[in-house]
Structure formats: C-alpha cells, structure tokens
Structure 1
Amino acid sequence: MRDTYHVGVTADGFLPDGSSRFGDLGLDRLTAAGLTWEYLPSVEHQLTPDVLAPYDAVLSLGHLGLTRDAAAAAPRLRHLARYGAGYDGIDVPGVAAEGVVVTNTPTAVRRPLALAALTLLLALAHRLPENHQAAAEGRWGDRGLYRGPGVAGRTVGIVGLGGVGCELAELVRPLGVRVLAADPGADTARAESVGAQLVPLDRLAAESDYVVLTAALTPSSYHLVDAGLLAAMRPTSYLVNVGRGGLVDHDALRSALLAGRIAGAGLDVLEPEPPAPDDPLPTHPDVIVTPHALCWTQDFTDAVATSAVEAIIDVAQGRRPVHALDPSALHHERHAG
C-alpha cells in the first residue's frame, strides 16, 4: 500500500447542509486503515481526469460515468468503488485495460431492492394510492370502489434473473403465484432453484399479470420494454420497474397507459431522473412513482456502505475485493445484482 493512499468521495450523495443522504458511510474505517480521504468537488455526469488526478480510489455515491480516456489520463487511479449495484455509464472493460478495478455492492442491494419491487407490486395489486386518498379525503362511502386484482393465483414475470430477480422470485413464491422469468444469461437450473419457469420475453409479457424489471441497463437492454412489448401485455397487467429507467421507452409507456393497453405501472426509476416538470407519468392516476430510493432502508444503506468501504480497503492493501466486476463477463449480463 502506498504511504499516501488517497480516496475521493463524490459529492452527489450529500445534501446542501453537508449531511449524507445515506447516513453514516463508515468513512472513519478508511482513516483507521491508514487511508486518507476527502470529498470531491461537485461533478456532473462524468468523472474527469482533473478531478481524478489526486486519487488512488474514488467512492462514487451516485451514477457518475468513467471512460477509458479519463482513466488513462489519471494514472494514479486504481479503483472506482460504486455505492450500489449499477455500473451503467462506466466503461468497465476500458478502465480495466488502464489498470482500474471497478467494484459494486450487489449482495447488499439484493434483498432491499427485491422488497422494493414487491412493495410496488402489492401497492398496485391492492390499489393502495386510491384507497389512501379516499380515506384521507374522508370518502368512506367509496369503500370497495378501488378493488385491486390481488396476487394469489396471478402470474409474476421477472425480467432479469440475477441476484435481485432470484430474491424476488423467492419472496413472491409463497404468495400463491406462478413465476416466469426471462433472462438470456440464466439457465433452467438457476430458474428452477427459485421456483421460476424460464421463458422468452414475449411470452412472459403475454402471460404475466405483473411484469417486473430487475435487469441491468446495457446497450442490449436499452428500451427493452418498447411499444411492441407493451402491446403484448394484457390490458389488465401492470409493469413494475426497479432496474433502470432506460429499460423502458417512456413515450411508449405513456401511450400504452393513455390507450388503456395496460392497467398501470409502479416505477422507482425513470428516464431521465428527475423527470421533466411536465412529464405526465408521475401524476398519472394509474402510476405509482418513487424517486429511485424505495429500497433505501436503514439496513440497505448500512450494508452498502460497509461493502463499498471494505472493497476500498481491500484494494489499498493489495487484496482482490469480493465484488470486482469481471470485464470479460459483462457482455453476457442483463440482470441486476
């Protein structure tokens, strides 16, 4: 380990008053391990060579991108640690060629994100927003007008059978549902181990009452849910997305909702984020929107912070981190976690 192994922490995880939106990040553990650290200046979209130059490692709390050219122009950089599971915007093979390891925190994200997907699914199944609004407005006479489809006997289709998708399959299975899964990188044994049936994506769309996206965003999965796939869904079915906003063509989704081609949607992620002020999706009566934070429970933030900080210490002390991304395997991957 270098005598002055220096870590930069991106500013996008902090509020205007200087407090962390994630609570205690455990940065004192870096100090205890003999590392120095400081907060980076505010950066938009991409980490640049001038920002990266002083650091051996960067803890990225948001979704900042990193290109191979930027890594090559910052020869001191050895490690980019992502706080979370996603790595879209990071050229993992390119930066690896420049000697930079990229880590994420998939295990820490897995259960909280699956529970977030289940939360949206159940809220749609029981029409929670409408029932809450009726009660809040004192419209007790409207009891029974907002009867959701429920869950038992329904089919849940999971798009992306990685860690989060498998966790979700195991969570919903006791609810008396049939579970389908679509993922070109998964095999039948993996699906069967969590009680899911592996099927093509178009069949999943046609047969599912709830289509849940847990996939990672890659060039091949961008706008995976387009007008054609939405047309294949049932008019009584719902779309839930906890993966990335770019998985869905939101113009096509707006049209499908307006035409009544699907019953509604639960979205923790959008494209772009935040949405435009005039975007009709957040206020659509059949849509539940949360600000890409539904899984941010106390156990989530604690576990993710611990995983990210441990990865930084491992790399600094010459150990291979547990969750180093394998550049050679990423082109096969279309699932989260």
Structure 2
Amino acid sequence: MSERYRVGLTADCARPDGSTIFGDVGLDRLTAAGLEWEVMPDAEGHELAADVIAGYDAVLSFGHLRFPRALLRAAPRVKHIARFGAGYDGIDPAALAAEGVVVTTTPTAVRRPLALSALTLLLALSHRLLDNHRAATSGRWADRGAYRGTGVAGRTVGILGLGSMGSDLVGLLAPLGVRVIATDRSGNTERAAALGVELVDTDRLAAESDYVVVAAALTESSRHLVDRDFLAAMKPTAYLVNVARGGLVDQAALTDALREGRIAGAGLDVLDPEPPSPDEPLLRMDNVLVTPHALCWTADFTAGVATSVIEAIIDVAHGRRPAHPLDPRVFDRWRRGD
C-alpha cells in the first residue's frame, strides 16, 4: 500500500463530513486501516471529471455514475472502483479491465433486502394494499368489497433473471404455494433444478406468469427487456414488479399497457430516468405502486453493504484479493505488475 492511499467518495449520496443518506457506512474503518478518505465535489450530470478523481487510488461510488474508459485513462492513479450496491450499469467491466481498474460490487449484501423488496411489492399488489389504504383513509369503508385481491396460492411467479437476488426470492416464495418459472442468461439448469424452478424463454414467462418480477442486471443487451411485445403477451390479470433497474422496462410501453388495461398493475421501485419528471404518468395511476429506489434501504441493507464495500477497499489497498471483483484477473495482473 502506498503511504497515502486515498479514497474519494462520490457526493451523490454523501455529505462533506462523510455522513450519507444510508446512515453510518463505517468510514472510520478506512481511517483505522491507514487510508485517507474525503467526499469529492458533486458530479455534473452522471460523470465525474478526470481532474476530480485523478488524486485518488480508489473511488467509492454510492450512486450510478458513469466511469467510461477514457475517464480512467485520464486518471491513471485510480485502480479501484468500489460500488455501494450490486449494480454496475454505467461501468463497462471489460473496458475498465483493459485499463487495469478493479471493479467490486456487493452482491451478497444486497441479495436478501432486494428479494424482500420484490416480495413486498408482489404481496402489496396481490392484496391491493394501496387501494384498501385509500378506501380506509378517505372514509370509503362501504367500498371495501371492491378491492378484493387475487392472492398468490396456486399462481405463477415469473422471475426475469435467476441470479443472486432472483434465486433468493425463490426461497422466500417457497412457503406461499406458488409455481415459479424463470429466465437465466447463464442457462444454469443445475441451479434452477436445485431451486425447483423451471427455466423458460421470455415469451413463455410473459404468457404464463400471474406476477412477473424483473431481477436482471441492466446491460446494453437487456435494456427494455420488458418491451411492448413482452407486455402484449402478459395476461390482463397479471402484475409487473421491478426492483432491478428502470431501464429494463420500456416505460412508455408499460404506461400504455396499464392505461389500456392490458395488464392489471405494477409495483415499481425503479424508474427511467431517476428521479422521474413530475409529470411522469406512472406516478398518478391508481393501479401502480411506486417507491423511490429505496425500498430495500433497511438497517440490514446498510450494515451489510457498508461492511462489504469497506472490506473491499481495505483489501485492495493492502494487496489482498477482494471478495466480489467483477473480473478477478485484473487484480491478479496488477498485483504481479503486468
């Protein structure tokens, strides 16, 4: 480790004193490990300037800023991008690997909070929680019979993306008496079989599911995974739940499908863009439940993710392989001095 290993924190979720919207993320552990840290100036748009990050060895990225190859090439001191979370949209792993930059995420810490968020929205939709809340608070008790939910027993839940969070959701659904089908880009039939999940293509998943849960990673190939054709194939009684990334869903197509009653409703913790425009129609629909990309932000989430990301920074700073690198070969190359 260099004598003055410096960590820059992105200002999108952190204040100058190091406090964050997530709460205490354990920055004192960086200090105790001999690392210096400070919150960088706020980024203009979604990308930091090279002269802002040039003086750091590592960047702790709280939000979803872009880190293109040209930026890291112009700031060669930076050797580690540590994401506070599991997503890495805005980061091209192969491009950063070519620049010798280690990218780490916190998939294990995020898995259960995200799966619980998906289940929360699914159950809220199945019981028409928001409709019943509005009826009670507006004094319309006589209307309560109009908001009977569909329930989940015997229904089919389709999970788009059987990765870490999608797999964890399967376990949470197991006691509820549902059938689970899924897509999996890795085609891991052994994992699916162990979970008791049938792997299907997206067409079948759309057509057979009573609840579709979007749990995939956002990449160029998965953008608008849920498009007009997918929505057209869904049952008119089906619900869509998205806790992954807003860009996985064609938002205009979803708006049309909801307006026209081609699907029953949606539960969305993510939108595209974020924050949405004040006149975003999804915010005003009675059959849509929207939360501000924060439903999983529990005390457990903060504790788990903070521990994981801080450990990754300390490990890399001290020449140890971090737990969750996107490409382990990068760390091995620069550790050897290649």
TM-score after normalising by structure 2: 0.95
Q: Is the 8 A contact 1:72 1:98 kept in 2?
A: yes
Corresponding residue number in structure 2 for 1:304:
305
Q: CA deviation at 1:16?
A: 9.6
Aligned residue number for residue 110 of structure 1: 111
Which residue does the alignment assign to 1:164?
165
1:144, CA displacement in angstroms? 1.8
- 3-state SS in 2 of match to 1:11: coil
> C-alpha offsets along residues 42-80 of structure 1, whole Å, 9 cap, x if unaligned?
013013211111100010011011011111111111100
1:24 pairs with 2:20: no
Distance of aligned partners of 1:16 and 1:232 in 2 relative to their CA distance in 1, 3 Å threshold: farther
1:204-233 deviation per Cα after TM superposition (whole angstroms, max 9, x unaligned): 100000000000000110001111000000
The one-letter code sitting in structure 1 at the alignment partner of 2:300 is D
Q: C-alpha displacement at 1:18, in angstroms?
A: 7.4
Q: What amino acid maps onto 1:118 in structure 2?
A: L
Give the partner amino acid of 2:150.
P
RMSD of aligned Cα (Å): 1.4
User: 2:227 matched to which residue of 1?
Assistant: 226
Cα 1:116–1:239 change in 2 (3 A) is same
Q: Deviations over 1:266-316 (max 9, x none)?
A: 000001111111111011010000000000000001110110000000000
Rounded Cα–Cα distance in structure 2 between residues aligned with 1:19 and 1:56:
21
Letter in 1 for 2:14: F
C-alpha distance in 2 between matches for 1:107 and 1:51: 30
Deviation at 1:20, TM superposition (A): 1.4
Distance (whole Å) between structure 2 residues aligned to residue 18 and residue 129 of structure 1: 36
SS in 2 for 1:169: helix
Asked if the contact 2:223/2:248 (under 8 Å) is kept, the reply is yes
**Deviation of 1:139 (Å):** 1.8
Is 1:111–1:167's contact at 8 Å kept on the other side of the alignment?
Answer: yes
1:283-302 → structure 2 map (5 Å cutoff): 283-302=284-303
Distance 2:188 2:18 in 1: 46
- Partner residue in 1 for 2:210: 209
> Residues of 1 paired with 2:172 and 2:115: CA distance?
8
- Partners of 1:265 and 1:15 in 2: CA distance: 34
Deviations 1:170-222 (A, max 9, x none): 11121000000012213221112112110111001000000000000001100
Q: CA separation of 1:42/1:281 partners in 2, compared to 1, >3 Å: closer, same or farther?
A: same
Contact 1:170-1:195 within 8 A present in 2 as well = no
Q: How far did 1:138 drift?
A: 2.0
Partners of 1:103 and 1:217 lie apart in 2 by 16
In 2, distance between residues paired with 1:97 and 1:311?
Answer: 20
Identity within the alignment, %: 68
Deviations 1:108-152 (A, max 9, x none): 000000000000000000000010111111222222210011100
Q: How many residue pairs align between the two structures?
A: 328
Determine whether 1:239 maps to 2:240: yes
Give unmatched runs, 5+ long, in structure 2. 330-338
Partner residue, 2:259? 258
Q: Distance in 2 between matches of 1:203 and 1:34?
A: 54
Tell whether the 8 Å contact from 1:58 to 1:79 is kept in structure 2 after alignment. Answer: yes
State the match for 1:14 in structure 2.
14
Residues 30, 309 of structure 1: 8 Å contact kept: yes
Aligned to 2:153: 152
- Which residue is equivalent to 2:333? none
After superposition, residues 1-337 of structure 1 pair within 5 angstroms as 1-14=1-14, 19-43=19-43, 44-326=45-327
SS at match of 1:256: helix
Query: Is the contact between residue 102 and residue 325 of structure 1 (CA under 8 Å) also seen in structure 2?
Result: yes
The equivalent of 1:332 in structure 2 is none
Partner of 2:335: none
Return the alpha-carbon distance in structure 2 between the equivalents of residues 89 and 62 of structure 1.
10
Separation in structure 2 between the aligned mates of residue 275 and residue 236 of structure 1, nearest angstrom: 27
Q: Any conservation in 2 of the 1:93–1:327 contact (CA below 8 Å)?
A: no
> What CA deviation, in whole Å up to 9, does each residue of 1:14-51 have, x standing for no partner?
36997410100100000000011111000130132111
Q: Which amino acid aligns with 2:6?
A: H
The amino acid across from 1:28 in the alignment is: D
Structure 2 letter corresponding to 1:8: G
Write out the 4+ residue segments of structure 1 that deviate beyond 3 Å after TM superposition. Answer: 15-19
Q: Which runs of 5+ in 1 are unaligned?
A: 329-337
Q: Would the aligned equivalents of 1:212 and 1:240 in 2 still touch at CA under 8 Å? A: yes
Answer yes or no: is the 8 Å Cα contact 2:18–2:39 preserved in 1: no
Contact 2:16 2:39 in 1 (8 A): no
User: Does the aligned pair in 1 maintain the 2:14–2:39 contact within 8 Å?
Assistant: no
Pair 1:226–1:54, CA change in 2 (3 A): same
SS at match of 2:81: strand
Classify 1:136/1:18 alpha carbon distance in 2 versus 1 (closer, same or farther; 3 Å): farther
1:262–1:67 distance in 2 versus 1, CA, 3 Å: same
